[in-house]
A and B are shown apart, each in its own frame.
Chain A
């Protein structure tokens, strides 16, 4: 079955440093989504990428979808303590009816 791998599993950064998490799928994806889960909370949708090579930005967050549509990344510039949480990618080979989630990257930002 489809597998979505995400690295690193954990990342500790000093406030102000940059952060990147990577997502790789064993199969070509039709789309990829990113979610954020604050400690003790529930996943919240951040963004969806659909096109090969697509790049989207949300303030300090930059999302990329690979040319082969098998990988994606999330980059945060100048992290803040509000960025703390676990970031998940989720993809689907066909319609988004059934998503496969990566294992997540837990980000800790040290003040």
Chain B
């Protein structure tokens, strides 16, 4: 089992460019999450999906959109990247014991 897989691992964008971060889990979990991590600020929830077909905003959703494509996949889209979106992005899924499993992260720089 691969667990939670994120692509790409690294990305550099110019201001205004768009991109989609991909996330897939093979643990048959219903709930999936997108976080961003900035120095000294811990993990902040961007969006989450409690089940296939549903998505909800988290603490910092502005500038992002998500798609729960199916039970396995949950993507995060930046329509017009801004320097303030430079961060490390983590995808996670949650099991029935409420444990969250994280992917390896995507390190994004917006110039």
Which residues of A are in contact with B by a Cβ distance under 8 Å?
A: 1, 6, 9, 31, 33, 35, 41-45, 48, 88, 90, 95-104
Contact = CB atoms under 8 A, between A and B. Distances in A.
A37 to B, nearest CB: 9
B98 A33 contact: yes
Interface of B: 31, 35, 40-45, 48, 50, 58-59, 90, 92, 94, 97-105
Pick the most buried of A6, A44, A95, A97: most chain B CB atoms within 10 A of its CB: A97
B102 A48 contact: no
A43 to B, nearest CB: 5
A95 B96 CA distance: 11
B98 A48 contact: yes
Contacts of B104: 41-42
Contacts, number: 52
Contacts of A98: 45, 48, 58
A45 B100 contact: yes
Contacts of B42: 6, 88, 101-104
A4 to B, nearest CB: 8
B105 A42 contact: yes
Contact of A99 (B41, B97, B100): B100
A97 B100 contact: no
A42 B102 contact: yes
Contacts of B40: 9, 103
A101 B36 CA distance: 11
A59 B59 CA distance: 35
A1 B50 contact: no
B101 A45 contact: yes
A96 B29 CA distance: 14
Nearest to B105: A42
A31 B43 CA distance: 18
A41 B88 CA distance: 11
A103 to B, nearest CB: 4
